[in-house]
A and B are shown apart, each in its own frame.
Chain A
Amino acid sequence: MKYSQKRSQRTSKIAAVLLLCLALTFLISLNTGLIQIAPIDVFRLLIGSGSEQNAVILFDFRLPRMVIALLIGAGIGISGAILQGISRNELADPGILGINAGAGFAVILFIFYFQGNAASAGAAIWVLPLFAMLGALLAGACTYLFAWKGGVSPTRLVLSGIGVNAAFAALIIVFQLKMDPKNFSQAIVWLSGSIWGTNWAYVLAVFPWILILIPYTIYKSRYLNVLYLGDELAKALGVRIEKERRKLLITSVLLAGTCVAVGGGIAFLGLVAPHLARRLAGPRHEHFLPVTALIGALLLLAADVIGRVILMPTEVPVGLVVSALGAPYFIYLLIKMD
Chain B
Amino acid sequence: MVFHRFRRSGIDNREGAVQKSRPFAASIILAAGLFLLVVLTGVSIAYGAADIQVSTVWNSFVHFDPAIASHQIIHELRMPRAVAAAAAGAFLAVSGAIMQGMTRNPLASPSIMGITAGSSFVLALAFIFDAHASPNKLVFWSFVGSGLGAFLVFGIGALSKRGLTPVKLALAGSAVTALLTSVSSALAMHFDVARDLSFWYAGGVAGIRWESVRVVLPIAVVGLAAAMLISRSITVLSLGEEVAKGLGQKVKLAKVSGLLVVLLLTGAAVSLAGVVGFVGLVIPHITRFLVGVDYRWIIPCSAVLGGLLLIMADIMARMINPPFETPLGAVTALVGVPFFLYLSRREGGGTR
- Flag if B344 contacts A159 (CB, 8 Å): yes
| A-chain residues with CB within 8 Å of residue B195 when the two chains form the complex | 181, 184-185, 188
A163 to B107, alpha carbons, bound, how many Å? 11
- Flag if A170 contacts B334 (CB, 8 Å): yes
Most buried by A among B176, B182, B324, B334: B182
User: Which of A158, A166, A317, A324 sits near B278, CB closer than 8 Å?
Assistant: A166
* A55 interface hit (Cβ, 8 Å): no
| A-chain residues with CB within 8 Å of residue B329 when the two chains form the complex | 170, 173
Whole-angstrom distance from the CB of A151 to the nearest CB of chain B?
Answer: 6
- Flag if B171 contacts A334 (CB, 8 Å): yes
Whole-angstrom distance from the CB of A297 to the nearest CB of chain B?
Answer: 21
- Flag if B182 contacts A324 (CB, 8 Å): yes
- Flag if B2 contacts A177 (CB, 8 Å): no
- Flag if B351 contacts A314 (CB, 8 Å): no
Those of A286-338 within 8 Å (CB) of chain B: 311, 314, 316-317, 319-321, 323-324, 326-328, 330-331, 334-338
Those of A248-307 within 8 Å (CB) of chain B: 267-268
Whole-angstrom distance from the CB of B267 to the nearest CB of chain A?
Answer: 22
- Flag if B345 contacts A327 (CB, 8 Å): no
- Flag if A170 contacts B330 (CB, 8 Å): yes
User: Which of A155, A185, A323 sits near B182, CB closer than 8 Å?
Assistant: A323
- Flag if A160 contacts B198 (CB, 8 Å): no
Whole-angstrom distance from the CB of A323 to the nearest CB of chain B?
Answer: 4
| A-chain residues with CB within 8 Å of residue B201 when the two chains form the complex | 173
* A11 interface hit (Cβ, 8 Å): no
A338 to B4, alpha carbons, bound, how many Å? 12
| B-chain residues with CB within 8 Å of residue A188 when the two chains form the complex | 185, 189, 194-195, 198
A150 to B345, alpha carbons, bound, how many Å? 12
A319 to B181, alpha carbons, bound, how many Å? 12
- Flag if B161 contacts A336 (CB, 8 Å): yes
Whole-angstrom distance from the CB of B331 to the nearest CB of chain A?
Answer: 8
- Flag if B337 contacts A163 (CB, 8 Å): yes
Whole-angstrom distance from the CB of A172 to the nearest CB of chain B?
Answer: 9
* A115 interface hit (Cβ, 8 Å): no
* A192 interface hit (Cβ, 8 Å): yes
* A10 interface hit (Cβ, 8 Å): no
- Flag if B345 contacts A149 (CB, 8 Å): yes
- Flag if A335 contacts B190 (CB, 8 Å): no
| B-chain residues with CB within 8 Å of residue A164 when the two chains form the complex | 337, 341
* A192: nearest chain-B partner, CB-CB: B185
* A45 interface hit (Cβ, 8 Å): no
- Flag if B333 contacts A320 (CB, 8 Å): no
* B199 interface hit (Cβ, 8 Å): yes
A319 to B182, alpha carbons, bound, how many Å? 8
User: Which of B190, B334, B340 sits near A314, CB closer than 8 Å?
Assistant: B190
How many chain A residues sit at the interface, stated as a range, is 35 or more
- Flag if A314 contacts B189 (CB, 8 Å): yes
A185 to B190, alpha carbons, bound, how many Å? 12
| A-chain residues with CB within 8 Å of residue B161 when the two chains form the complex | 335-338
| A-chain residues with CB within 8 Å of residue B351 when the two chains form the complex | 149-151
Q: A155-B348, A166-B277, A170-B337 in contact; A320/B186 too (CB < 8 A)?
A: yes
* A87: nearest chain-B partner, CB-CB: B2
Those of B152-206 within 8 Å (CB) of chain A: 156, 159-162, 168, 171-172, 175-176, 178-179, 181-183, 185-186, 189-190, 194-195, 198-199, 201-202
For this complex, 30 residue pairs linking A to B, each with C-beta atoms less than 8 Å apart, are: A147-B345, A149-B351, A155-B5, A155-B347, A155-B349, A156-B349, A159-B347, A163-B340, A166-B337, A167-B333, A169-B333, A170-B333, A174-B326, A174-B330, A177-B202, A178-B324, A181-B195, A185-B194, A185-B195, A314-B190, A320-B182, A321-B182, A323-B179, A330-B178, A331-B156, A331-B176, A334-B172, A335-B159, A336-B160, A337-B160
* Given A91-B171, A149-B345, A160-B344, 18 extra CB contacts under 8 A: A91-B2, A155-B4, A155-B349, A156-B349, A159-B2, A164-B337, A167-B337, A173-B198, A174-B330, A181-B195, A184-B194, A188-B185, A267-B178, A314-B189, A320-B183, A331-B156, A334-B160, A336-B161
B residues with CB within 8 A of A: 1-5, 156, 159-162, 168, 171-172, 175-176, 178-179, 181-183, 185-186, 189-190, 194-195, 198-199, 201-202, 277-278, 324, 326-327, 329-331, 333-334, 336-337, 340-341, 344-345, 347-349, 351-352
A residues with CB within 8 A of B: 89, 91, 146-147, 149-151, 153, 155-156, 158-160, 162-164, 166-167, 169-171, 173-174, 176-178, 181, 184-185, 188-189, 192, 231, 267-268, 311, 314, 316-317, 319-321, 323-324, 326-328, 330-331, 334-338
Give me the 7 closest cross-chain CB pairs, A-B, nearest first: A156-B348, A159-B344, A170-B333, A327-B179, A323-B182, A150-B351, A170-B330
